[in-house]
């Protein structure tokens, strides 16, 4: 098969690495890719938000299967254009991608199908939102109602913090967006990944990530500073509870609205007292959660994604090893605020590359024979082992072998489970 993956981050490197292991994969192209992806696939310079450009590229390169990694092309309708032209695609339609692209849409779906989630309200002007927060008090959660690269959520511990977050959103920090304000939910967060083919649903893994930039879960929220899988708190019984109360009702409601969901549903959950509530949905694999999931799943991922795209998930099962994976994100100094690009990263050529240790590239490029940092989150050092402690040791051994003064990482990834 000729396979095209859209995206150029750590998630797409992990997807490419896993898909490449499957004998069905003959030719693998990733657009735009990055310096690490170039070691496992061809990279193509392509505007992945342009339906016409992606479609033309897929036709010219006789692509058999397209895997859409990030959320932006899904929200732009790239999957619809490809499907309409007869291509096999992994990723939901533009309409179904509203589950991530609009917080308010997801809340309306939850209300309609009775899925447990936080109480909420939506506002289109700052004064009304500020007034609501003042009346409700803190802690309270303020969300930009749109795609904000994982950074549009503020868990405000004071009313003043909430007001600042509201003002930032209406001042256009993430573009032109309304605001969704939610009640604060206490508990432990976990991520649950489910493949859905429009009719059937197949759970494919659990993970927990670390959103805050600093050790001890301190500092501002990021796109994710590390993750581990499986998530101990998501027991088999709790997973079935989530499927029965949240995921299947959501899928039924989406189908009833004429927008059946086909792709991976990433359910962010808050768990307290043995009960789970939905925090939010994403409509793609998380980053860096994808890195730990792919590390554990390996080459079978292609078979699962194909079954999802071909609407035959009912015939599939996931073969899990009794193992653990952990990934540590190395980010550019200053992230998630302002950071410099272009610093040289040394030591990458000394790192192991196996089914137990891989450093996935998220924001890198090759220049003058060197690997340079081009993003905020740059590398994801990932280890797998029989125990989480073993996976932790393998991941941090990679971190310690990298010579990059311009980067930093958290040293406590996995602390809850360890």
Domains of the chain, first to last: 2-91 (3.40.50.20), 125-177 (3.30.1490.20), 188-315 (3.30.470.20), 324-408 (3.90.600.10)
How far is the C-alpha of 271 from the C-alpha of 242, rounded, in Å? 10
Q: What is the pLDDT of residues 22-63, one digit of tens each?
A: 999 999 999 999 999 999 999 999 999 999 999 999 999 999
**Cα 183 from Cα 155, distance rounded (Å):** 10
Angle of CA points 223, 418, 319, to nearest 5° = 75
Q: What is the pLDDT of residue 175?
A: 74
Angstrom distance (rounded) from CA 328 to CA 414: 9
Choose the weakest-confidence range: 115-119, 144-148, 258-262, 406-410: 144-148
Higher pLDDT, 151 or 32: 32
Q: Which pLDDT score is estimated for 173? A: 76
Count Cβ atoms within 10 A of the Cβ of residue 200 and give its class: 0-12 exposed, 13-18 middle, 19 or more buried. Answer: middle
Residue 372: strand, helix, or coil: strand
Residue 162, CA distances (Å) to 31, 58, 323, 334 in order: 38, 45, 41, 23
Q: Which letter, b or e, does each residue of 356-383 get, where b requires 16 or more Cβ atoms within 10 Å of its Cβ?
A: bbbbbbbbbbeeeeebbbbbbbbbbbbb
Mean pLDDT of the chain: 95
Q: Is pLDDT of 147 > 80?
A: no
268-308 confidence digits (pLDDT tens): 999 999 899 999 999 999 999 999 999 999 999 999 999 99
Rounded mean pLDDT of 115-128? 92
Strands 2-7 and 65-68: parallel
As given in the structure block, the two tokens for residue 394 are: 């393998």
- For residue 392 the two structure tokens come to 């932790």
Distance of CA 367 to the CA centre of its chain: 28
What's the predicted TM-score (pTM) here?
0.93
Burial zone of 347 (CB within 10 Å; 0-12 exposed, 13-18 middle, 19+ buried): middle
**pLDDT at residue 150 greater than cutoff 70:** no
Residue whose token pair is 């993970």: 207
What is the pLDDT averaged over residues 70-81? 96
């Amino acid at each position: 098969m000729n396979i095209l993956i859209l995206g150029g981050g750590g998630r797409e490197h992990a997807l490419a690495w896993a898909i490449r292991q499957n004998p069905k994969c003959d030719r693998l192209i990733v657009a735009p890719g990055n310096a690490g992806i170039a070691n496992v696939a061809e990279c193509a310079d392509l505007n992945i938000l342009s339906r016409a450009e992606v479609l033309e590229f897929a036709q010219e390169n006789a692509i058999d299967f397209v895997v859409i990694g990030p959320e932006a092309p899904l929200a732009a309708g790239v999957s619809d254009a490809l499907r309409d032209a007869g291509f096999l695609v992994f990723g939901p339609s533009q309409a179904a991608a509203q589950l991530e692209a609009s917080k308010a849409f997801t809340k309306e779906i939850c209300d309609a199908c009775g899925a447990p989630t936080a109480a909420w309200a939506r506002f289109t002007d700052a004064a009304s939102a500020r007034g609501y927060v003042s009346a409700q008090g803190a802690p309270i959660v303020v969300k930009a109602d749109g795609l904000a690269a994982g950074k549009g959520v503020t868990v405000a511990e004071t009313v003043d913090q909430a007001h600042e977050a509201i003002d930032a959103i209406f001042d256009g920090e993430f573009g032109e967006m309304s605001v969704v304000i939610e009640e604060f939910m206490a508990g432990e967060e976990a991520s649950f990944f489910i493949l859905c083919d429009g009719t059937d649903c197949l759970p494919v893994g659990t993970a927990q990530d670390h959103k805050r930039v600093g050790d001890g879960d301190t500092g501002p929220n990021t796109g994710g500073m590390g993750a581990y899988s499986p998530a101990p708190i998501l027991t088999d019984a709790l997973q079935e509870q989530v499927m029965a109360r949240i995921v299947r009702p959501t899928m039924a409601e989406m189908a009833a609205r004429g927008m059946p969901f086909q792709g991976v549903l990433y359910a962010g959950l808050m768990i307290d007292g043995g009960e789970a509530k939905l925090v939010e949905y994403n409509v793609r694999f998380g980053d860096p959660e994808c890195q730990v999931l792919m590390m554990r799943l390996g080459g079978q991922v292609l078979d699962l994604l194909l079954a999802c795209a071909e609407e035959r998930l009912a015939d599939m099962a996931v073969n899990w090893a009794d193992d653990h994976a952990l990934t540590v994100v190395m980010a550019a100094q200053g992230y998630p605020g302002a950071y410099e690009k272009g610093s040289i990263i040394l030591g990458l050529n000394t790192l192991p590359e196996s089914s137990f240790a891989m450093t996935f590239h998220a924001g890198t490029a090759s220049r003058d024979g060197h690997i340079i940092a081009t993003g905020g989150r740059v590398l994801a050092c990932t280890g797998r082992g029989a125990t989480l402690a073993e996976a932790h040791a393998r991941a941090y051994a990679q971190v310690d072998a990298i010579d990059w003064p311009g980067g930093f990482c958290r040293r406590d990834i996995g602390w809850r489970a360890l």
